[in-house]
Amino acid sequence: MLGAKGGALPLASLNHISLVCRSVERSLDFYQNVLGFLPIRRPGSFDFTGAWLFNYGIGIHLLQSEDPEKMPRKKEINPKDNHISFQCESLSMVEGKLKEMGIPYIQRRVEEGGIYVDQLFFHDPDGFMIEICNCDNLPVISLSGEPIMACKRVMSLLPQQQQQKAALQL
């Protein structure tokens, strides 16, 4: 198995995702005005068109496609496609804003042991899937028994997770 010698890589956190765009300007507008990211300075030594944004503890790097017309166009919103997910405080407020902005989306609901997670899925201008959810409702339970730090719940939920894990094993 990969990584068996010496364990996994010593990572600290997710830094950024990079997205190739048909139009950096159009994507920049979307990530700023729809998702609330803020433009930040990128190295001036880059010899290609792009933009960097930051918010919510992660960066998004937009890269101009060298051949925008050859980029695939996605029309169907498929929750099983590659996507990035953002936690929100009020899904109804997000849904209202998406309607107000005329952004097509679909809703899904996941249920696990009486706990419900509601999700909204939509595309950025290039068809990359975005999910907005209340995923914090669902406990993150390690299959290996190792403590996991997740979102707001960090270590305060370990006793609750252990109880839920024990209940699932019954």
CA distance 120 to 129: 10
* 131 classed as catalytic: yes
CA distance 76 to 63: 23
Which residues make Cβ contacts (< 8 Å) with residue 36, sequence separation at least 6?
55, 56
Which residues make Cβ contacts (< 8 Å) with residue 170, sequence separation at least 6?
none
Q: Exactly one of 66, 89, 112, 131 is catalytic; name it.
A: 131
**Residue spans of beta strands (DSSP E) within 66-165:** 83-87, 106-112, 115-123, 129-133
Structure tokens of 31?
């990530």
* Catalytic positions: 131
